[in-house]
Amino acid sequence: MSDRNVQGNAPFVRVSGVTMKFSGVTALNALDWDILPGEVHCLIGENGCGKSTTIKVLSGVNQPEPGAVIEIDGQRREHLTPHLSKQLGIQVIYQDLSLFPNLSVAENISIEEALGSYASVISRPRMRERAAATMARLGVNLPLDALVGDLPIATRQLVAICRGMAADARLLFMDEPTASLTRSEVNALLEVVRRLQADGVAVVFVSHKLDEVVEIADRVTVLRDGNKLGTYPAEGLNDKRLAELMTGLDIEHHVHARDCTQAMPVLQVRALTRQGQYRHLSLEVRQGEVVGLVGLLGAGRTELALSLFGMNPPDSGEVLLQGRPMLARTNRQAIDAGIAYVSEDRLSLGLNMRQSVQDNMVLAVLNRISAWAGWLTPERRETMARAWRNTLNIKIPSLTAPVSQLSGGNAQRVVLAKWLATKPKLLILDSPTVGVDIGNKQGIYEIVHDLARQGVAVLMISDEVPEVYYTCDRVLHMRDGEIIESFVPGVASEAQIMESVYA
């Protein structure tokens, strides 16, 4: 938590009576809020609470209902536009970062300046000079000539921050900045946030990771169902109290570990190796067992999952499914064998965002539910989709709504429905709650436990030790392509596992 005293400063942003409605539905109700210069202010709440709407109002994307008052740097602004908002020093780093993958680091950082120039007078040396100066200001070192599309997510995050600072940001909104980062990368990012603060830049930090909120914030504002529940000094708050404020529920975490040693093995991996990714891996997951797989970025966890799912064939070793050799060379072979894989990147790999909820739900089982000659009747599709909507408690406007309209938690439930429809023997969950709020996280954990009770074997990959500690029966620690330790939650403490992973 910051030691900086920001309470005596006049607000850089002050809003009152801000209301936003979409098709008659109130997304934001009479919001009164302020942001102080140089503070780290966390904005939290469940998906659909109004966080994104608040950001879009202050970035000039959405115009609030009449009667709203918006003041920036002491001056009232009647009609805020995206261009004016940027001119006033407000920059937004969205979760997808909105970078240009085919441009260099220097070009991405200096893009605002370049867009304001004529192509004939753009100076590439000047762009490099500005990018280098911005990096020096933040104390980061990035490869100026590297293509952004070739960089890891943590580095791209820094490029996005540098771009905002090159555009003279005085207020930086960071929307789920740590959702895809490992703990060591999170630590590095938080250090950059502290440098921004020391430089007088206000940062609004939007995150579902409540431990990070407590660690970095000066103040925390909680939204619930479009209403501001309150703004609180971060000192004295903890993640449990924040979860209660967000949801209105007293959420208790309990160890769920069970002894599954007498159950039949569903997955057995023996000495599996893929050069440069993992080596000599041996593990098993039994019927009804939930096994967690944790480790730092580059440990090889996702590469292993893709190998089991037929998309990253190993060089050697053996995979048994219910005692029979199974080495899928395609994902269709894996699906037919009884393996389902929920990817860590649901937006590009798990879902077709333009298609409807019901179309996404049936994608993996079209061959099973098609009628004669391969025709899929609308009735069959709708019946199946409605059943999964009810089973997984998916909150959607309609089955025909595009998935792009759903919150992160409900989109993830659609992915689960798609794969559960295949009736898997083994379900692989790769970072299943990334970008999902606390309430929907609990719902997904309950789904996992229900599946385990039905006999499904679950392999859960996660960057969050508390997630696997309170959800799984066993936890495997993977490092540098090898499984180095195994833990049983309750026998080993959460602190012991964290110490091992982050050592």
In a domain, 6, yes or no: no
Please give the tally of structural domains in the chain.
3
pLDDT score recorded for residue 371: 57
* Residue 164 CB-density burial (10 A; 0-12 exposed, 13-18 middle, 19+ buried): buried
In a domain, 257, yes or no: no
| Tokens matching residue 433 | 């709650």
> Strand 171-175 to strand 90-93: parallel, antiparallel, or no bridges (unpaired)?
parallel
pLDDT score recorded for residue 453: 95
pLDDT above 70 coverage of the chain, percent: 93
| Tokens matching residue 209 | 């990771």
State whether 127 and 207 are in the same domain: yes
State whether 84 and 180 are in the same domain: yes
Considering 247, 279, 298, which residue would you say is the last residue of a domain? Answer: 247
| Tokens matching residue 7 | 């309470």
In a domain, 471, yes or no: yes
pLDDT above 90 coverage of the chain, percent: 58
What is the three-class DSSP state of 158?
helix
State whether 19 and 158 are in the same domain: yes
What average pLDDT score do residues 467-483 get?
A: 96
94 with 104: CB under 8 angstroms?
no
Average pLDDT for the chain: 89
> Phi and psi at residue 416, in whole multiples of 5°?
-60, -45
Considering 398, 423, 448, which residue would you say is the last residue of a domain? Answer: 423
Residues 298-339: tens digit of each pLDDT: 899 999 999 999 999 999 999 999 999 998 899 999 999 999
Residues 166-191: tens digit of each pLDDT: 999 999 999 888 766 767 788 888 99
State whether 183 and 210 are in the same domain: yes
State whether 182 and 307 are in the same domain: no
pLDDT score recorded for residue 4: 46
What is the three-class DSSP state of 198?
helix
Residues 132-147: tens digit of each pLDDT: 999 999 989 999 999 9
Predicted confidence band of residue 84 (pLDDT cuts 50, 70, 90):
very high
In a domain, 3, yes or no: no
Closest-CA residue to 285 (of 483, 470, 442, 422): 483
State whether 388 and 457 are in the same domain: no
State whether 94 and 174 are in the same domain: yes
What average pLDDT score do residues 199-218 get?
A: 89
Task: Say which CATH number the domain at 55 has.
Answer: 3.40.50.300
State whether 449 and 499 are in the same domain: yes
Predicted confidence band of residue 3 (pLDDT cuts 50, 70, 90):
very low
| Tokens matching residue 143 | 């490869």
370: pLDDT strictly greater than 80? no
435: pLDDT strictly greater than 80? no
State whether 455 and 441 are in the same domain: yes
pTM (two decimals): 0.69
State whether 118 and 239 are in the same domain: yes
Residues 7-38: tens digit of each pLDDT: 557 999 999 999 999 877 799 999 999 999 99
Q: Which amino acid type is present at position 277?
A: Q
In a domain, 256, yes or no: no
| Tokens matching residue 468 | 């696997």
In a domain, 7, yes or no: no
360: pLDDT strictly greater than 50? yes
Angstrom distances, CA of residue 494 to CA of 136, 238, 480: 38, 17, 22
Taking the C-alpha atoms of residue 92 and residue 167, their distance in angstroms, rounded to an integer, is 11
State whether 289 and 416 are in the same domain: no
pLDDT score recorded for residue 374: 57
Taking the C-alpha atoms of residue 49 and residue 437, their distance in angstroms, rounded to an integer, is 10
In a domain, 343, yes or no: no
Angstrom distances, CA of residue 110 to CA of 91, 153, 157, 167, 305: 14, 19, 15, 8, 38
Domain that holds residue 94: 13-247
pLDDT score recorded for residue 404: 83
User: Strand pairing partners for 18?
Assistant: 31
Considering 423, 458, 479, which residue would you say is the last residue of a domain? Answer: 423
Taking the C-alpha atoms of residue 179 and residue 349, their distance in angstroms, rounded to an integer, is 17
State whether 20 and 134 are in the same domain: yes
pLDDT score recorded for residue 401: 87
Angle made by CA atoms 78, 74, 51, in degrees to the nearest 5:
65
Question: For 259, what's the count of Cα atoms within 13 Å in the CB-facing half-sphere?
Answer: 2
481 with 455: CB under 8 angstroms?
no
Taking the C-alpha atoms of residue 358 and residue 245, their distance in angstroms, rounded to an integer, is 33
In a domain, 490, yes or no: yes
